[in-house]
Amino acid sequence: MSEEYEYQREVEELEGKSATAARLFDVRRIIGGLFVVYGILVTIAGITASDADLKKAENININLWTGLSMLVVGLLFLLWLKLRPTAAPHTAPEPRQEGPGPVPRRDTDEG
């Protein structure tokens, strides 16, 4: 009986780790994080753009607008992750065990 209990405890522990890993490596988190990081870098490049860079792009600060757009997209992904988190995997309900119970009586007529 203790082996079954130990096995069940190990299974529950692994299910908990699996759910944590699924939430940690959610694609929305990875994509949102990358967009935010690159958005910050490109926005900084846009803020520090020289006049020569602006002249090449017909006085439109492309890096600034692209960086801000990437920041918005990344933050939307992270907001989506926050508002609709990954659901934990569903486990099948365990059958209720009630011990051995009374032994049914056999009526045998010998004789």
Task: Let me know: does 66 contact 46? Beta carbons within 8 Å.
Answer: yes
Rg (CA), the chain: 30
Q: Supply the mean pLDDT for the chain.
A: 81
Say which residue the tokens 């920041």 belong to.
71
Question: What does the DSSP assignment read for 23-43?
Answer: HHT-HHHHHHHHHHHHHHHHH
Q: Which residue has the higher pLDDT, 109 or 84?
A: 84
Q: Tell me the average pLDDT across 35-58.
A: 94
3-state secondary structure of 72: helix
- Three-point CA angle 107, 110, 111, nearest 5°: 150
pLDDT given at position 35? 98
pLDDT given at position 93? 55
Q: Does the structure show a pLDDT above 90 at 10? A: no
Locate 99 and state its tokens.
Answer: 């011990």
End-to-end Cα distance, the chain = 41
Q: Which residue has the higher pLDDT, 109 or 51?
A: 51
Locate 1 and state its tokens.
Answer: 């009986």
Locate 89 and state its tokens.
Answer: 């995997």
Q: Could you tell me how far CA 59 lies from the centroid of its own chain?
A: 42
Q: What is the pLDDT of residues 12-33, one digit of tens each?
A: 777 766 666 666 678 899 999 9
